[in-house]
A = this chain, B = another copy of it.
């Protein structure tokens, strides 16, 4: 009852928390266009590769992205492709 509601809210909060960082939002937007390797994302973001790797593993942990190793590169892509609609409401908050 209350605890079911509570755990649902916690689960949602975790997803939002995982998204709530500029670099991670950038990654999500970039992955909307298609899969990207860590090195490409790192170059675009301009942070240390270890930092980007940790952002990616956090997104993976949250169920937002999945990874696939090919050769010595790891490619990430979105696990759920509905992020574009997702931001209509966030934008409304920012516009008013």
Interface residues of A (CB under 8 A from B): 5-6, 9-17, 19-26, 29, 62-64, 79-80, 82-83, 85-94, 96
Contact = CB atoms under 8 A, between A and B. Distances in A.
B25 A93 contact: no
B63 A80 contact: no
Copies of this chain present in the complex amount to 2
Contact of A93 (B23, B80, B87): B80
A81 B90 CA distance: 11
A60 to B, nearest CB: 12
Given A5-B26, A80-B93, 14 more contacts: A6-B22, A9-B23, A9-B26, A9-B29, A13-B19, A13-B21, A16-B16, A16-B20, A17-B21, A64-B93, A80-B89, A80-B92, A82-B88, A85-B88
